[in-house]
Amino acid sequence: MIKKHKGFTLLEIIIAVFLFSIISAAIFSVLATARNSLSAGESQVGVQQACRNGLDAMVNELRQTSALKIADVPANGTNYSAITFQIPAGDITAGITWSSNIQYSLGGLNGKQLIRTQSGSQRILGNNISAVSFNRSAANPNVVNISVTAQKNTFPGFTARQSTITINSQVRLRN
């Protein structure tokens, strides 16, 4: 009489577990890589947004000033880390009234925040800003060149990744 055994042998079960482990490890590796890429992309977008927010605020106010109202960035082509200026504050029909001094510079938390200071009050325009520079050339003193660099370190998984972006802009001042 021949017995028919139903079921799996120990060898078949070991091979099945081994194949399942290899497939699971491959899927986990792909998902971990995708998560790291997503984290790096989000970090890059955050850094870029911090740069743009600060730059947009500076450009909007600098467009309102004149070359004569910029105090600490002479038209000599040298880069400066801060700019101080005034913008029109009152009704133009009765003559221009100028605001108190407005200054843009780095400061705040670890010196990595772009700060707008006016009349002793400070407003943070961007975080993770590693450098800001302003310059004007003697050939074109009515144009301010601005460069803002933002930098952020992230640690997706077990590796350190640094996201850096520099945005430049030129602002034509009013006459």
Q: What is the pTM of this model?
A: 0.76
pLDDT band for position 171 (cuts 50, 70, 90): very high
Element (H, E) at 107: strand 102-107
Give residue-wise pLDDT tens across range 49-82: 878 888 999 999 999 998 999 989 999 999 999 9
pLDDT given at position 153: 79
Is the Cβ–Cβ distance between 51 and 43 less than 8 Å? no
Can you give the residue ranges of every domain in the chain? Answer: 11-172
Instruction: Transcribe 71-108 into DSSP letters.
Output: -S--SSS--BS-EEE--B-S-GGG---BPSPEEEEEES
